[in-house]
Amino acid sequence: LTAILEEVWGANRIITELLDYARLKAPVIESVSVLELVEQAIESAAPPEKILVERQLEPELFVLVDARQARDAIASVLRNACEAMPGGGRLVVAATGGEGEVLVAVEDSGPGLTREALKGLFEPLVTSKPLGLGLGLATARLLLENQRGSIRAATQRGGGARFEIRLPLAPATELR
């Protein structure tokens, strides 16, 4: 029964990822707290206990995004980071405000990304994982670009990967 439930969960995840990629909906833009957005994404990604999640978030940051789409995109990046550290590690999520945008950075202590992996990282159906579909980061990129955001990735010196997500900063007049 446990094996059946695990297979059903896996099949459901595959179908959901395919549908999310194929049916990109128009965003419902609203002012959203970055703190709430990141916390919901972390909860959705459900990092295992062996991964230490460190938050470095500026308070009182708000972005103009579709909350669900932005959360799903960030959660996908977080899940990817967790999968890069199967034996555990450190996951840092930082957010800072800048000129008209908020930078949400996700850094892991995994092995990092090869040049080859970086080339096709956000392309659909390209994956280095034996059971991966190659839709997680491709969908994340689509969701972010759908609301005037962006994402890029890099390998850090000494190991680990860094993903930088940029989202439109909410002007003070838009704060809820």
pLDDT digits (tens, 9 = 90+) for 118-161: 666 666 545 555 445 556 678 788 888 888 888 888 877 777 88
68 token code pair: 């669900």
The confidence score (pLDDT) of residue 31 equals 92
The confidence score (pLDDT) of residue 173 equals 58
pLDDT-derived band at 110, boundaries 50, 70, 90: confident
pLDDT digits (tens, 9 = 90+) for 59-97: 888 999 989 999 999 998 998 888 888 888 888 999 998
3-state secondary structure of 26: coil
- Residue spans of alpha helices (H) in the chain: 2-22, 34-45, 67-83, 115-119, 136-145
Q: How many CB atoms lie within 10 A of CB 12?
A: 10
